[in-house]
Structure 1
Amino acid sequence: MRTLVNALRLVAVIAVAAAILAQWLVSSKLPSYNFFNYFGYFTNQSNIFIALAFAITLVTAARRKQGALGTSIFRGASTVYIATTGIVYNTLLVSIDVQSSVPWSNDVLHKVMPVYAVLDWLLFSDRSRLLLRHVWLFLIYPAVWLVVILIRGATDGWVPYPFLDPSLGYGVVALYCLGIAVFIALMGVLVVGMSRLRIVRV
């Protein structure tokens, strides 16, 4: 079972790398391409986080060690972020037509990985039991990301997603930010709860 689980995680890491690279090869040829903008999307960052979390977990498994608390916190946080990506995209952004999008890459980053990451966290037992206080740690990165995006939106006008556009009015943007923060906190509580489960022992 451990071999199968780790093989799935390795496939996930490769899939994320391939999807981000494929989309980058297309986006980098556009006149509007900007390296920091491309990697400024929460989608790309959350997928990179979960790929790193799986890679670290694979290294830990190769050394035949149980997941350390720090690794489990990072993996739990990454699961929250990628789940947020999946739900926000499929509720707020799925109808937006992006001409430069690579369809299979888009599906991997927004649909496949969010579902797989949540199932991986829920089913497999090789993670430490987390505590509710760890939810606060999960909120640090999204808070920093939002602050940076809001500053950029107010200065150079770039925002990665239309619901963060200052032209909507900062009251509207603040409501979206609050909604996302609440959702991330609730997802964090669920992830902490799921860390207590031992459905499939690996």
Structure 2
Amino acid sequence: MTARTPPGSPAPAAGNAGATRTRTTERTVAGIRLVFVLATLVAVLSTFADTAERGPVNPFNFFGYFTIQSNLLGAVVLGTAAVTALVGRSQGIVLQLARASITTYLVVVALVYNTLLSGLAGGVELAWANTIMHVLFPLYCLLDWVLVPDRTPLPFRLLWVVELYPIVWCAVVLLRGATDGWVPYPFFDPSSGYGTVLLYVLGIALTFIAVGAIVFAASRLRLFRSDARLGAQVGDVAG
């Protein structure tokens, strides 16, 4: 007897073609992600080399900036997402939360820099590297999160995860400001009074929560059709 395809079932050829298109799309997105990861790493390393050419560099100071740290973390997380897609694996809840977190951090970096710090003395001297770290990479990470359908809705009960890294970073900065006097940004300077500093810290914390909530909400968008297997592991946890 000849096996028949059940009524309403897609033809095998069509199914194979769809799977091929999905894998091609995944590889293309992974390639774009790796391009931005490489560009960001080059921007950070070039900034370090440029700073070193103009005088001695304290690595604890250079890598103490939230911009530098968040860009490096973003490169690691987005690179991991790219490799995960290339090997054909679904993203687990940890990677999804990491992506939501670094997207939040980089959006805040772009907002704070372009509203409070742009034009001030110091900062990234290389214009192209400054643009990558404060504009292009944050913008790409946001668009990647919103447009690429390889994530499932994240539950708002996990929004607190976004605050973990900024809290630790702020604690270290305040400790250094109180001991060796180094602060990465002028609004953390203890000479302005700890009351003022704490108001800025509170404002930054609220900004992270607000932007994080928007990022979590964006995970519910489905602007493009997603293959059913993408993000399946997250769906099991988030549901």
Return the TM-score normalized by structure 2. 0.81
For 1:99 and 1:105, locate their aligned partners in 2 and report how far apart those are by CA, in whole Å: 11
Q: 2:80 matched to 1:56?
A: yes
Please list the CA deviations of residues 32-64 of structure 1 after superposition, one character each: whole Å capped at 9, or x if unmatched. 520111001000111011111111111211221
Return the letter of the residue paired with 1:60: T
Contact kept, 8 Å, 1:26 with 1:100, in 2: the verdict is no
Sort the Cα spacing of 1:197 and 1:22 in 2 relative to 1 into closer, same or farther, 3 A: same
For 1:22 and 1:32, locate their aligned partners in 2 and report how far apart those are by CA, in whole Å: 15
Superposition deviation, residue 138 in structure 1: 0.7
> Which among 150, 153, 165 is matched to residue 189 of structure 2?
165
- Which ranges in structure 2 are unaligned for 5 or more consecutive residues? 1-24, 227-239
Max Rg structure: 2
Please list the CA deviations of residues 59-80 of structure 1 after superposition, one character each: whole Å capped at 9, or x if unmatched. 2112212211111001110101
For 2:123 and 2:137, locate their aligned partners in 1 and report how far apart those are by CA, in whole Å: 22
> Which among 161, 169, 172 is matched to residue 148 of structure 1?
172
Contact kept, 8 Å, 2:30 with 2:83, in 1: the verdict is no
Superposition deviation, residue 103 in structure 1: 0.9
For 2:124 and 2:32, locate their aligned partners in 1 and report how far apart those are by CA, in whole Å: 29
Which secondary structure does the structure 2 equivalent of 1:160 belong to? coil
Which secondary structure does the structure 2 equivalent of 1:133 belong to? helix
Runs of 4+ in 1 over 4 A off after TM superposition: none
Q: Which moved more, 1:92-101 or 1:162-171?
A: 92-101
Tell me the residue number matched to 2:4: none
Contact kept, 8 Å, 2:29 with 2:82, in 1: the verdict is no
Please list the CA deviations of residues 6-56 of structure 1 after superposition, one character each: whole Å capped at 9, or x if unmatched. 221011100111000110001123435201110010001110111111111
Superposition deviation, residue 164 in structure 1: 0.7
Tell me the residue number matched to 1:112: 136
Which secondary structure does the structure 1 equivalent of 2:159 belong to? helix
Which secondary structure does the structure 1 equivalent of 2:154 belong to? coil
Return the TM-score normalized by structure 1. 0.95
- Which ranges in structure 1 are unaligned for 5 or more consecutive residues? none
Q: Which moved more, 1:179-188 or 1:99-108?
A: 99-108
